[in-house]
Amino acid sequence: MICTYSRCLLIPFVKCSSSVSGPVRLLSYLTTLMMALHGKVALVTGAAQGLGKGFSEILLQNGAKVALLDVNEKGGKVLKAAFDKEYGPDRTLLLTCTVESEEQLKDAFQKTVDTFGGLDIVCNNAGIVNENNWEKCVSINLNGVVRGTYLALQHMKKENGGRGGVIVNVSSLAGLGPLLTAPIYTATKHGVVGFSRAMADASSVCDYGVRINMLCPSFADTSLLTCLTSDETAGQFISLRGVAEKMKDQFGVLEVSVVAENFLKLVTDESRNGEALMVQMQGASYVTFPKMSA
Ligand SMILES: NC(=O)C1=CN([C@@H]2O[C@H](COP(=O)(O)OP(=O)(O)OC[C@H]3O[C@@H](n4cnc5c(N)ncnc54)[C@H](O)[C@@H]3O)[C@@H](O)[C@H]2O)C=CC1
Ligand SMILES: CCCCCC(=O)/C=C/C=C\C/C=C\C/C=C\CCCC(=O)O
């Protein structure tokens, strides 16, 4: 059976399930060996739902093993059970942790490496909108990405004996321009872009062997969108909810699978480092940043 993401796979593949017969299982095994990310180990934060779930699934579909990190234990267990059924229990590892805790995140990275024997792909995706509790928003969206990037480099950079690899930090279109109803969210996403670009240059100059890219999607069809009109998360900007709704209508809402296909481009295109890929309804394009003469 060809999966729903087959148009973004580098080769089509056959689904593996315990009920399939010997020859089909053998074919499944052989095609898995030929897949683009076969033998690669990935780690995704905020994997239990939404975009993180989509990123994890496309990595699995392309042959990687994936550590699923999320603060939501219940949601994580439901997803792990579904992935076990589809891809087999050995392909994923569920780790309940918050990106706000250095200790918990460090432990999750170590468990991933101990279980799967290395690390090649990291997606720092966990994020929230909360203009009411803005310190928490900074703590998860920006500090969590910094923490995840530093831990990823510790395990992946060649000078530490790592295999090199790629980090994708999830920003937003609000990392490139203002989302007026969410100034703190906007600041954190701009922060992710600035931090990731500087780290990409550092990685290149220091020859870490690790590419660092940013994904900047427009509105996507996940439960995060309820934050646009919720008193709890919009805080003092709730009076602008009409403007936010209008923006959403104008930009449109992306399917998770479309964002995931573009995430895969950043993972597999080895020519890309320090690049921000914007994903909008009209298509995806790499951002041209102003050139600094130095
Ligand atoms: N949905 C959208 O319109 C867009 C989302 N993004 C970004 O994509 C990323 C994912 O967002 P969505 O999937 O839309 O949201 P979502 O709310 O559907 O999923 C976020 C996931 O992150 C987890 N999470 C939250 N706090 C965490 C923490 N402290 N530690 C570990 N996990 C945590 C949640 O439990 C949840 O599973 C975020 O960084 C968001 O800013 C970017 C552009 C557009
Ligand atoms: C509060 C809900 C958060 C929704 C998640 C999210 O990140 C959505 C972002 C969607 C739209 C982008 C916001 C601002 C865009 C402003 C300018 C973009 C300019 C990009 C460019 O063309 O240069």
Residues with CB under 6 A from ligand 2: 129, 172-174, 176-179, 182, 185, 218-219, 224, 227-228, 251
Task: Encode burial over 204-221: b for 16+ CB neighbours within 10 A, e otherwise.
Answer: eeeebbbbbbbbbbbbbb
Ligand 1 centroid, distance to 273 Cα (angstroms):
23
Rg (CA), the chain: 19
271 by Cβ neighbours in 10 Å (0-12 / 13-18 / 19+) ranks as exposed
- Going from the Cα of 82 to the center of ligand 2, the distance in angstroms, rounded, reads 32
- pTM (2 decimals)? 0.92
pLDDT of residue 20: 55
The DSSP bridge pattern shows strands 121-124 and 165-170 to be parallel
Compute CA distances 220 → 78, 104, 172, whole Å.
Answer: 22, 29, 10
| Ligand 1 atom index nearest CA of 52 | 13
In the predicted model, residues of the chain with pLDDT beneath 70 are 1-20, 32, 294
What is the CB < 6 Å shell around ligand 1? 45-46, 48-52, 70-72, 75, 98-100, 125-128, 140, 170, 172, 217, 219-220, 222-225
Q: Cβ distance 132 to 116 under 8 Å?
A: no
- Residue 122 bridge partners (DSSP): 43, 167
* Alpha carbons 96 and 108: distance in angstroms, whole number: 8
Contacts of 204 (CB under 8 A, 6+ apart): 273, 274
Ligand 1: which residue has its CA nearest to atom 2? Answer: 220
Which among 192, 194, 102, 190 has a CA at the least distance from the CA of 154? 102
Query: Which ipTM was obtained for this model?
Result: 0.97
Q: Which is catalytic among the residues 87, 185, 208, 286? A: 185
d(C-alpha 5, C-alpha 79), whole Å: 18
**Side chain identity at 213, as an amino acid letter?**
N
Residues whose CB falls within 8 Å of the CB of residue 58, separated by 6 or more in sequence, listed in order? 5, 8, 260, 261, 263, 264
Q: Identify which ligand lies nearest to the alpha carbon of 233.
A: 2
**Whole-number pLDDT of residue 100:** 98
List C-alpha distances in Å: 263 to 116, 149, 189, 278: 22, 17, 17, 10
> How many other CB atoms are found less than 10 A from the CB of residue 257?
15
Rounded distance from Cα 159 to ligand 1 centre (Å): 32
Find the 40 Cα to ligand 2 centroid distance in Å: 32
Count of C-beta atoms within a 10 Å radius of residue 279: 23
Q: Show Cβ contacts of residue 189 under 8 Å, excluding neighbours closer than 6 positions.
A: 141, 171, 172, 174, 175, 216
Catalytic residue at 185?
yes
**For residue 17, what pLDDT is reported?**
42
Ligand 2 pocket test, pick from 169, 173, 279 with the greatest ligand atom count within 8 Å of Cβ, gives 173
Tell me, in angstroms, the distance from the centre of ligand 2 to residue 97's CA: 28
Relative to beta strand 165-170, strand 210-217 is parallel
- Report d(CA 161, CA 181) in Å as an integer: 45
- Give the phi and the psi of residue 256 in degrees, each rounded to 5: -55, -40
